[in-house]
Amino acid sequence: MKYITCIEDLRQIHKRRVPKMFFDYVDHGSYAEETLRANVDDLKRIKFRQRILVDISKRDLSTNIIGEKAAMPLILAPVGSTGMQHGDGEIHACRAAQAAGIPYTLSTMSICSIEDVAANVEKPFWFQLYVMRDRGFVKALIERAIAAKCSALVLTVDLQVIGQRHQDIKNGMSVPPELFKLRNILDIATKPGWVKGILGAKSRNFGNIAGHLPGSKDLGSVSSWVASQFDPALNWRDIDWIRSIWPGKLIIKGILDVEDAREAVKVGAEALVVSNHGGRQLDGAPSSIEVLPEIVHTVGSHIEVMFDGGIRSGQDVMRSLALGARSCMIGRAYIYGLGAFGGPGVAKAIDIIRAELSTTMGLCGVNAINQIDEKVLAE
């Protein structure tokens, strides 16, 4: 990995080493992918104000995220089916995050279960929750997160209906995936390292669901159940029910509108995540960075505002912090590393972003995270 210089380098290696259907699942978005592209492009348009002859010899990236000490303002976001990018992917990613001193968020739709991850890492992690129609299952899932000592619950609220992802349909990336289509068989046959890792993994099913519902041990039955479970009736009143079970910190992910941000404050969430699901849901929605400043201006003094959407560099983290975010989530950026090199690849992705953020702070004349504001941006 000596010559890996940026997240795009990891992306290109990921693309070569992982079957197309799984790479495209992460890399692409919904419909025409307008919002996916806007997330990245709108960040790039934000320019920095270069400063010189400032003592920047003691730069410090450390911060606090919802009361937890963090080595930098970065969080590994929940990503479904991470364990299909690399065997035991969730465990490897969580270990890399914890070694780097930042939070990791396990998805409801993970391949490794809550229990598997908890048994194989040293510290508590965050758990991301999708609220299913089967509230009994959801209650049990929250209780399992409590038993695993998860330190925060990230409630994702922008998946009541699922935006169509054209590449997934073309690739047969259904649930379960169409692995035995001829072109997928031929593609997988050229990825022996990936095959070896997946075959040696703890799970190749949705670990948080398989075995926890009657008759749900095979992928087909789990898939049928999941397809029927995303709940379009989910609404703000359900937050009170979740709060009655979950005793810890609550983060609401998927806020893109000021009125929704105000509601997140009213229900007592500790933080919200400005996010459009990585451009994978409502195509034509604004980029996350476009709406961030107004949301911060409206509710930033009442709730911790996190940012998600389009981050591919430490410069992007700096841009988001300058516009008011307290911390940032990355999804694709670390998954590219995972698909390329497993756990060391995740560590490399984090190191790349850390180094870029530190350098950008220095060239903008900033020594600490809490000094980053709009003054570091060009007019």
Homologous superfamily (CATH) of 7-376 is Aldolase class I (3.20.20.70)
pLDDT digits (tens, 9 = 90+) for 92-144: 999 999 999 999 999 999 999 999 999 999 999 999 999 999 999 999 999 99
pLDDT digits (tens, 9 = 90+) for 149-184: 999 999 999 998 889 999 988 888 866 677 777 888
Q: Can you tell me whether residue 327 is helix, strand or coil? A: strand
Tell me the binding residues for FMN: 78-80, 107, 128, 130, 156, 253, 275, 308-312, 331-332
Q: Is the dihedral of CA 353, 6, 100, 156 positive or negative?
A: positive
Q: Which residues are catalytic?
A: 277
Tell me the binding residues for glyoxylate: 25, 165, 277, 280
DSSP string, 215-263: T--SHHHHHHHHHTTB-TT--THHHHHHHHH--SEEEEEEE-SHHHHHH
Percent of the chain with pLDDT over 90: 86
pLDDT at 341 over 80: yes
pLDDT at 315 over 80: yes
Q: Is the dihedral of CA 98, 100, 104, 109 positive or negative?
A: negative
pLDDT bracket for residue 220 (50, 70, 90): low
Q: What is the mean pLDDT of the chain?
A: 94
Question: What are the φ and ψ backbone dihedral angles of 46, each rounded to 5 degrees?
Answer: -80, 125
Position 31 scores a pLDDT of: 97
pLDDT bracket for residue 213 (50, 70, 90): confident
pLDDT bracket for residue 218 (50, 70, 90): low
In angstroms, the CA 366 to CA 8 distance is: 26
In angstroms, the CA 226 to CA 128 distance is: 16
CB atoms within 10 A of CB 50: 11
Q: Report CA dihedral (311, 312, 315, 317) to the nearest 10 degrees.
A: 30
13 close to 156: Cβ distance less than 8 angstroms: no
Position 273 scores a pLDDT of: 98
In angstroms, the CA 130 to CA 207 distance is: 14
Position 224 scores a pLDDT of: 74
Position 228 scores a pLDDT of: 82
Higher per-residue confidence, 325 vs 220 = 325
CB atoms within 10 A of CB 197: 20
pLDDT bracket for residue 219 (50, 70, 90): low
Position 176 scores a pLDDT of: 65
Position 149 scores a pLDDT of: 98
Position 215 scores a pLDDT of: 64
